[in-house]
Structure 1
Amino acid sequence: MHPINCPCGSGITFQLCCQPYHLKTKTAPTAEALMRSRYSAFVVADADYLFETTHSSKRKNHSKSGYLSSAKNTKWLKLEIVFSAFDVVEFKAYYLNKKFQTEVLHEKSNFRLEYGQWYYVDGVYYL
């Protein structure tokens, strides 16, 4: 089996990029690294990782089954980081809609660092 490139667009293999975060053998060192690993988790349908990296104050608005459904029902194409700062990442995630047309999810996400672990808090969508 050939190693696959990481869905996050880093240019390196999934095994060396986002997978160690998903397997909890490494912790995402920055908000951008967490954002990239969460995008990859949507691509590979890792609902546990998505739920666990959502800030505890926001988990009531999300569920593992909701993340899994979203991940499995979306064909993600690529991730583009527009802007990245300490605790904010603006990105564009490209996907196919039900008519097989490319659409873009453009979001400015907020992250929080607690006890050495980054968490997704919330985001603002652009139309």
Structure 2
Amino acid sequence: MKEVVFIVNPAAKNGAALRTWNKIEKMLKEKIEFEVYYSKRAGHAKKLAAHLAIEKQHPFLLVAVGGDGTIHEVVNGIISHPHVIIAYIPAGSGNDFSRGYKLPQNPQKCARIIFDRMSTNI
């Protein structure tokens, strides 16, 4: 299994994303090892993603947890780093990105799908 890193926006959905993350984290701790970073302000997720992409010169899975703004920042942070694999767990208010890609709206279901596929495909 590849290295897994999460960037979580605890402020998404007026703070509800942090509660969502806490549930997902509990589920994941039993299954995999991972790193987690929390964005602290607008633009911070992009900086975190870029820093991680430069620091880790090997393929790894970067999972954004938050809303549309969070996934937007993470993608823009790694855009010139093809070794980074992106996944998304929707935990925002609108989640237009996840609807556009027909991802499950339930964050725990999204997490299960990501890690089921990781064990077979990635």
* Highest RCO, 1 vs 2 (Cα 8 Å, sep ≥ 6): 2
Could you tell me the TM-score, scaled by structure 1's length?
Answer: 0.32
Which structure is larger by alpha-carbon Rg, 1 or 2? Answer: 1
